[in-house]
Structure 1
Amino acid sequence: MSTFGQLFRVTTYGESHCQSVGCIIDGCPPGMELTEQDVQPQMTRRRPGQSSITTPRNEKDRVAIQSGTENGRTLGSPICMIVQNEDQRPKDYGNQTMDMFPRPSHADYTYQEKYGIRASSGGGRASARETIGRVAAGAVAEKYLKLAYGIEITAFVTSVGNVHMFPPTAECPTPSQNPEFLKLLETINRETVDKFLPVRCPNEEASEKMADLIAEYKEREDSIGGTVTCVIKNVPSGLGEPCFDKIEAMLAHAMLSIPATKGFEVGSGFGGCEVPGSIHNDPFIRSVETAAPESGAARNGIPRPKLTTKTNNSGGIQGGITNGAPIYFRVAFKPPATIGQAQTTATYDGDKEGILAAKGRHDPCVVPRAVAIVEAMSALVVIDALLQQMGRHEAVRQLPSNNKTMQPSDNGVSMTQ
């Protein structure tokens, strides 16, 4: 379906070469200052034509808010945002050969099988153009998360092909065992990531190698995949809805709904399978912290004792519920399916084999632009989980036996007294 979320619900619309793409948000809290200037920065980070190693499609991706705000504040009613497709070229796909033959590894055949009809150009809803609505909605969610809880979400590229920012070793089979990686998670922010354009890998040596590798595949009219790592900081404890809507399950759902994704791991991930439990377990320690000044949890400025963990192999999630430590995970993106080289294929009815040289503009590697999409989907998961937990907390607080005795928790949403 085209709708994501329970309380903060986002519906995206549009195809790659239609007149416009965008989204409708239902459930955004009222009274929050919001204008196009809050949304446009993330749209710009996602847009095509950013560099010589991205698709040359020239879209400005200027967002316009159509409803749900007045005098620069949200009303609580549905927010509609729209982006015009200014540089669509459906004619690139309008020839008899492409009508007869499905492109290898594209959604042409599967959409035809599912619906009995398909968009004739650009992949339709399977195109990454659909993610514009996600990024616009994610920017709105991020603003609320930042204002209300000081939550910060930062994604960055950690590998392209066989070039890794943190190569696995016998001592550190997973980045969660690598002190350099853990230190980076504490300090990384978007401003730092964007200093390492065009790849958005915050390591000068690795970034240069990745850019060279992408350029090499582009020169061959080929493509290559990579991974994006994301860290979510200042997340309250207590978020997640076991058993089926655990926070990592919802993150996996969100990330694997992004076009071209093929893998997801949270915390130590697959490398954690090579570490014994005696090392992998995260010991609890007592800590005294003051929440971020801009967060609702710190409105009274009183430090509150809380548990934290000495290590974070769990990636901030235990039992499907956030424990207050930073959440971090990694998403794998396959090589883009559209390449300039001629490839073998067969007609839709399977009666005839043929050669297809796909036309159209494409990215030789999607991960530099996918960073903003990963951040957006993370924000949509966290705000939905947060609103659900806030509703539960308020429902319990209203009981006569509780409303005089329950105290605000250190994170503003937990029901622990």
Structure 2
Amino acid sequence: MSSASGRRILLGISGGIAAYKSAQLARLLKQGGHEVRVVMTQGAQAFIAPLTLQALSGEPVRTSLLDPEAEAGMGHIELARWAEIILVAPATADLMARLAQGHADDLLTTLCLASPAQKIMAPAMNQAMWAHPATARNAEQLREDGWQLLGPDSGEQACGDVGPGRMLEPESICAALFDATSTSTTPAVASSNSGLHIVITAGPTREPLDPVRYLSNHSSGKMGYALATAATELGARVTLISGPVSLTTPPGVQRVDVETAVQMAEAAEQLANGADVFIGCAAVADYRAETPAEHKLKKRADEDSLTLRLVKNPDIIAAIAGRARSPGRPYVVGFAAETRDLEDYARDKLTRKNLDMVVGNDVSLVGLGFGGDNNAALLLWRDMEGREGRQELPPQPKIELARAIIHHALSQHSINSH
């Protein structure tokens, strides 16, 4: 049974530099009214002393599977049964690999295999290690085995590299672990999201003018990929329809590569049939060449101008949102990238295209929007009764913004589905 004040949380700490954050995490969990017991790997003890975690948790810290005193009464089995939630933070690449293969060669991995508790981890490692195909396979296997992954975050790392791999901040882990807007202690990463299918479009499209030239835009795809990462963190199944970008597919995400707006529209129409939520984050070209040239267009010395005849591309988000509202229609979220009058244009798009929610962002602001690692947003939405809502999200890393957008979209989807 749960304690009256909260949940029984087994905090596992593996050997990475991010282990220092686990002290604050233990403190926050205790402040939230939860019982916390800590298990540390041998590597974790090289970064932070067990005595620190004992002082913060108020319980002895377990470090060894072969502790004669603890194992006199089969202590590891007792601890496995005690836990309601196992939270591993940080989870190193090595620990993820061992858990994915079912190893039980130390106390922490043994407990993870022996416990029926809900299992959650916050990965933390060098960006190259996180991007390695082996880590991606291990992350996918862990998800299939029932683990829920929180993060990692993106940014500057202790080694000086910049990229995804940082452990989420303790406050972010707690916010994801427990719904801060609820008085209950139900995890926000509840298994109710595990059956959801979210389809996301991302990146630019390229519309060929001839075999070597095309029309496109400055979209990097970072926001759409961050949304895909955030959605998988919450247990959803994610399909990412991606235009041409130089980004690594987030672990656990199914990626469909397209080039043109017509190709993206065809993929979206097909995948939206089985989707619960459809998010149109791609920067789709509004027009394409009516007839792309068969050969490279040559510059002529006797002509100072070139006339191109363009035709409209399919309006992907409007087509999906325009479907009859029925159990088969997904909850539709659109994006409005504007350079002026953001709220007016975003609200117009919400209404004109029959969207459930629109995410507006001002791409004219320095350091935000296209190509950058940070962004800000204005959320506008309309419920089933036509009531409108509004929320501003301040400038922040795109992954954090993505988590806020996904959390809000899933909350609204849940409300509209009941």
- Whether TM-score is above 0.5 comes out as no
Greater relative contact order structure (CA < 8 Å, 6+ sep): 1
Which protein shows a greater Rg?
2
In the superposition, the TM-score normalised over structure 2's length comes to 0.22
In the superposition, the TM-score normalised over structure 1's length comes to 0.22
